[in-house]
Amino acid sequence: MTQDQPKKHKKRASPNRIKHNRMAAIVAKTEGFGALKNKKQRVEFAREILARYGEDICHKRYYGIIETAECIYWFGILPRKVNELIDTYDSAKDIAKLLGHTELRIQRAMDHVVSDNINNILDEADSWLNKLDN
């Protein structure tokens, strides 16, 4: 970086975006989310999860939460699960059978490196849930 270039400031997400991402991560981490086959099922599932925390899925801050939860699941949670199971199981086919996904989906998850953004969202959701438990 030269002296002529201004320093770039890292933008912090708005409180609404942080809450949106946190709740999407909680929905995505809940057992059974990945097995749901269509958007209607996922919306009902998310509605129940958000209601547990006193939130309404119809609030404008949660617009697009299903899509966010899907991205967090496919590009964060599933690759983490697959990486944990790689040493235990012989093939992607065995892992696919266990998790209820296609072998191709599992192979993609094996090849995917979870981004820092998704890791941060998942870690923040975990710490928020831990605060609630205490």
> In the predicted model, what is the mean pLDDT of residues 20-25?
93
* The two three-digit tokens of residue 47, written as one number: 């509605």
How far apart are alpha carbons 37 and 33 in whole angstroms? Answer: 9
Q: Residue 2: is its pLDDT beyond 60?
A: no
pLDDT tens, 28-58? 999 999 889 898 999 999 999 999 998 888 8
pLDDT at residue number 10:
67
Tell me how crowded residue 62 is: count the other CB atoms within 10 A of its CB.
Answer: 21
> In the predicted model, what is the mean pLDDT of residues 79-97?
90
Start-to-end CA span in the chain (Å): 45
Give residue 33's Cα distance to chain centre.
10
pLDDT tens, 95-115? 999 998 999 999 999 998 899
